[in-house]
Amino acid sequence: MDLSTAHVLVTGGGTGIGRATAELLARRGARVAISGRRADVLERAARELSDAAGATVVPIQGDVTREADAARMVAAARDALGGYDTLVNNAGVGAFAPLLDVTAGDMRRLWETNVLGATLMARESARVFVPQRRGHIVNVASTAGRRASAGASAYASTKYALTGLTEVWRTELRQHGIRVMQVNPSEVITPFFESAGLGGARENPTKLHPEDIAHVIASMLALDDRGFVTEASVWATNPVN
């Protein structure tokens, strides 16, 4: 696709991978909206991204786990951008603990955002994309959904689920000219580490940066619509834990 004509909604666009992706796509001429739960974070990010990219980035507050919000955010993006053809399904949360300490609360919270939220946003987007016979969905999963590690019961299970959903949606939507793709980052230096209780891990300079993942997402989208990259896993070259 020609990124300069894209109309993109990035969920979880106020920080981390989502923010970096929104900035890169806006710099390349796309019309971009970002969504998130926290209005203050979202509005500040939109102002800063607009200044950095030299183009207006639209903030749309909402919770991907709520059906009404998902429908409203997609409709708002379509109206604000003058069209809608690309979802970067990035919103996600994490929690890590050994099996003996896993809580029902963490399992529900992660599954609601990482799986249900992604599904609702994809569904509402597909309801726009199918009639126009064109669209792009990029699910931001994780290498934890391809190779799990100890302590990741809640998180890895959601990313394995998202991988399965990506394959289902791809099978259903290809016939309508819609590309469904997935990117699997390994550890990336973002605020995610602190929110997931991993503390200083985010200071490790050998880990990936959000801009690395944004570059991969933009490259996948930029491929001509006659083809698509189904999945891309991005690993740090020589990470030191």
What are the structural domains of the chain? 3-234 (3.40.50.720)
SS3 236: coil
Consecutive H or E run containing 39 = helix 39-53
pLDDT of residue 66: 99
Q: What is the pLDDT along the chain (241 residues), one digit of tens a residue?
A: 999 999 999 999 999 999 999 999 999 999 999 999 999 999 999 999 999 999 999 999 999 999 999 999 999 999 999 999 999 999 999 999 999 999 999 999 999 999 999 999 999 999 999 999 999 999 999 999 999 999 999 999 999 999 999 999 999 999 999 999 999 999 998 776 555 555 555 567 889 999 999 999 999 999 999 999 999 999 999 888 6
pLDDT of residue 204: 77
pLDDT of residue 150: 96
pLDDT of residue 203: 67
Identify residue 84 by its one-letter amino acid code: Y
Structure tokens at 134: 């064109």
pTM of the model: 0.94
Consecutive H or E run containing 208 = none
CB 19 within 8 A of CB 27: no
pLDDT of residue 193: 57
Give catalytic residue positions.
155
pLDDT of residue 240: 80
pLDDT of residue 145: 95
* C-beta neighbour count of 126 within 10 angstroms: 20
Q: How far apart are CA 239 and CA 67, in angstroms?
A: 39
